[in-house]
Structure 1
């Protein structure tokens, strides 16, 4: 089992990680991690990432793919305001733009020796972020996700397992039914695949959870209910999210929705703030989270946090290290001085 930290190549993260990754490397060494799961962003020079740090690859999450994948230009205009903005967002207006993006990221992953890649088998649109009512089914999203991955890997093995990550929105992979995983398995043409369990995303599916104890009980129940399919969980994004109060306020109309009019980029930024309030990316502080690892034995565990400073990041790592002390291969989980 390897223990990883997460980082994106957005400027806000790189200012903390260090443009040469030196700060991230020191943090990794301080707490005894094996590397990073990296989310590469458009335009970032991937050749500047030290290959020995790139243990995992988080493929880009476009979030809104329904209209593009169906060729619905009017739907794209409704979301983006004009087709040129949509073209800029996706890199094109055809399916192939998305497929090429993923194929290119997988090629980089093979080049640097990434050990796995993560794909979000979920989608959302700006109109359904508050009430979670989307015009597609989970079956349609899983079929689309399998199509994308199959095409991105067409003619060449991915070179690493593709791990499908759960999110909380209805109409996608949530891991709340065995049928979700079974349908995905039926439609994939690649052999080397699995699941990336995001514990925070799973907690977000239940807004009635009040505290960590209830949250751990819920995670354990969902994983146990997967039965033998739980063996497909090869990575865990270990993170805590208990945002049910905010979600209930949103769905009862007590919170104003993100603006429906105006510039797409401004609306997208407002939506990201809203999503960040749901998906908190906090640290577990209870040792009870160890019960999860009595059920599964993943190959990779990622301490996946958001952070606005080095001290903020280090604090979250330290708290979750304390909660998981001794869990992973008997390695000490407290930071070195």
Structure 2
């Protein structure tokens, strides 16, 4: 099992540490590498490319209306046409958006990663607050299949593509038949699942503590049966946000900024309870990514110590 940390190369340069300097930190913490969240399509300055084992591809939280050419819904989501175009990488059509995605994947592949991560979900800002979703899991999975298969040819057969679960409509991992059908229709020979543990916990608002949380996660994974073997990686963090989800006012617009709202749902706190070992032992992942919120590497070191104690 290779142990990694998440690293976000943010669009405006607000990063916890320059990527040029990351090698010494990885050695000090006995880590194998990083999973880089790549926002941009241009080359990345880095002298430690061999430490970038995974690339988390750029994602669009809501895209189904654009894909389905639902112009009325798009008018509700964007104040003007230019905002819409900017959101989709300056694309004015789905064909142009696919070209942008291909360029983005080429930029990721230039870093020679062992795997790519692809989010499978759809929820616009209004839905994120009202929780009244217009698309079902099955619809999001079907469109994701169409979208991915439209660009799959540019990804080398040897590059592992891992599809990540979320708690919004899409790949939630709570329905084995849907998961199996989705993976079977993907046109790429080397695929699997990136289990985001916090995202899975977000699908159950009744969880009160980590013991309950990991028991719930185990029950979902066991129901997947043989499909559980498709989980090749884990984004490791804990999220117990049921109280918040039950408490906020289900209306839009809501006075809470969208980023603050999402981070209160998806908490990315370190796992602390040793019941976590049962999940890791069941999955036996190739990649374990400590996906935690941190402001600097000194803070991350403290969080890593807490989380590692829970499963080692």
TM-score above 0.5: yes
SS in 2 for 1:287: coil
Point out 4+ residue stretches in structure 1 off by more than 6 angstroms. none
Q: For 1:158 and 1:243, locate their aligned partners in 2 and report how far apart those are by CA, in whole Å.
A: 38
Match of 2:222 among 211, 221, 224: 224
Q: Does 1:303 align with 2:302?
A: no
Q: Name 1:162's counterpart in structure 2.
A: 161
The answer for unaligned runs of 5 or more in structure 1 is 261-266, 326-337
1:154 Cα offset (Å) = 2.8
Q: For 2:307 and 2:210, locate their aligned partners in 1 and report how far apart those are by CA, in whole Å.
A: 13
Q: For 1:271 and 1:321, locate their aligned partners in 2 and report how far apart those are by CA, in whole Å.
A: 31
Q: Deviations over 1:291-311 (max 9, x none)?
A: 012211211110001112333
Q: Does 1:126 align with 2:125?
A: yes
1:102 Cα offset (Å) = 3.0
Count of matched residue pairs: 311
Q: Name 2:10's counterpart in structure 1.
A: 10
Q: Name 2:100's counterpart in structure 1.
A: 101
Q: Name 1:189's counterpart in structure 2.
A: 187
* Contact kept? 1:258, 1:270, Cα under 8 Å: no
Under a length normalisation based on structure 1, what TM-score does the superposition of the two structures give?
A: 0.86
Q: Name 2:135's counterpart in structure 1.
A: 136
- Superposed CA RMSD in Å reads 2.1
* Contact kept? 1:258, 1:274, Cα under 8 Å: no
Q: Does 1:313 align with 2:300?
A: yes
1:13 Cα offset (Å) = 7.3
Taking a change above 3 Å as real, the CA distance of residues 162 and 187 of structure 1, as seen in their structure-2 partners, is same
Q: For 1:155 and 1:313, locate their aligned partners in 2 and report how far apart those are by CA, in whole Å.
A: 35
Taking a change above 3 Å as real, the CA distance of residues 15 and 295 of structure 1, as seen in their structure-2 partners, is closer
Q: Name 2:273's counterpart in structure 1.
A: 286
Q: Does 1:244 align with 2:248?
A: no
Q: Does 1:275 align with 2:273?
A: no
Q: Name 1:333's counterpart in structure 2.
A: none
1:71 Cα offset (Å) = 1.5
Q: Name 2:39's counterpart in structure 1.
A: 41
Under a length normalisation based on structure 2, what TM-score does the superposition of the two structures give?
A: 0.93
Taking a change above 3 Å as real, the CA distance of residues 306 and 160 of structure 1, as seen in their structure-2 partners, is same
1:45 Cα offset (Å) = 4.1
Greater displacement, 273-282 / 39-48: 39-48
* Contact kept? 1:242, 1:280, Cα under 8 Å: yes
Q: Deviations over 1:81-109 (max 9, x none)?
A: 11111101112132233323332233233
Q: Name 2:253's counterpart in structure 1.
A: 259
The answer for unaligned runs of 5 or more in structure 2 is none
Q: Does 1:199 align with 2:186?
A: no
1:12 Cα offset (Å) = 7.3
Summarize the alignment of residues 171-182 of structure 1 with structure 2, pairs less than 5 Å apart: 171-182=169-180
Taking a change above 3 Å as real, the CA distance of residues 234 and 30 of structure 1, as seen in their structure-2 partners, is same
